[in-house]
Amino acid sequence: MKAKIVITPKKAVLDPQGKTVQTALEHMGYDGVKAVHVGKYIEIELEGDAESWRPKIDEACHKLLSNPVIEDYHFTIE
């Protein structure tokens, strides 16, 4: 069982990486790229019950894995 966590920069935060990747994609000829956001992906291998892990993973995301001032996160446990 794994928790799969995706962390992305909040919309209001400057994301120069996303902007640079977007420019590169446009230079490569991909038309219609509206925006690129570069974030993080974290996998945590777990044992035990998925439902009991859910609040703990949420807490870990809030306290350590993401910074709520600048980042959003969502996760699945499967």
Partner 1 sequence: MRFAVLQFPGSNCDQDCVHVLGNVLGQDADYLWHKEESIGDADAVVVPGGFSYGDYLRTGSIAQFSPVMNAVKAFANAGGLVIGICNGFQILCETGLLPGALVRNRSLQFRCETIFLKIPTADSPFTSEVPEGRLLRVPIAHGEGCYFADDEALAKLRADDQILFQYATETGDLTDEANPNGSLLNIAGICNEGRNVCGMMPHPERASENVLGADDGRRVFESMLRHLEAKTGVGQAATAEV
Residues that bind partner 1 (CB under 8 A): 9, 12-14, 16-17, 20, 64-65, 67, 69-70
Residue 49 CB, nearest approach to partner 1 (Å): 26
Choose between 49 and 56: whose C-beta lies nearer to partner 1. Answer: 56
Residues 6+ apart with CB under 8 A from 31: none
Q: How far is the CB of 50 from partner 1 (least distance, A)?
A: 24
Which of 35/69 has CB closer to partner 1?
Answer: 69
1 vs 13, beta carbon nearer partner 1: 13
Cα–Cα distance measured from residue 23 to residue 68, given in angstroms and rounded to the nearest whole number = 27
Burial 40-59 (b: 16+ CB within 10 A, else e): eeeeeeeeeeeeebeeebbe
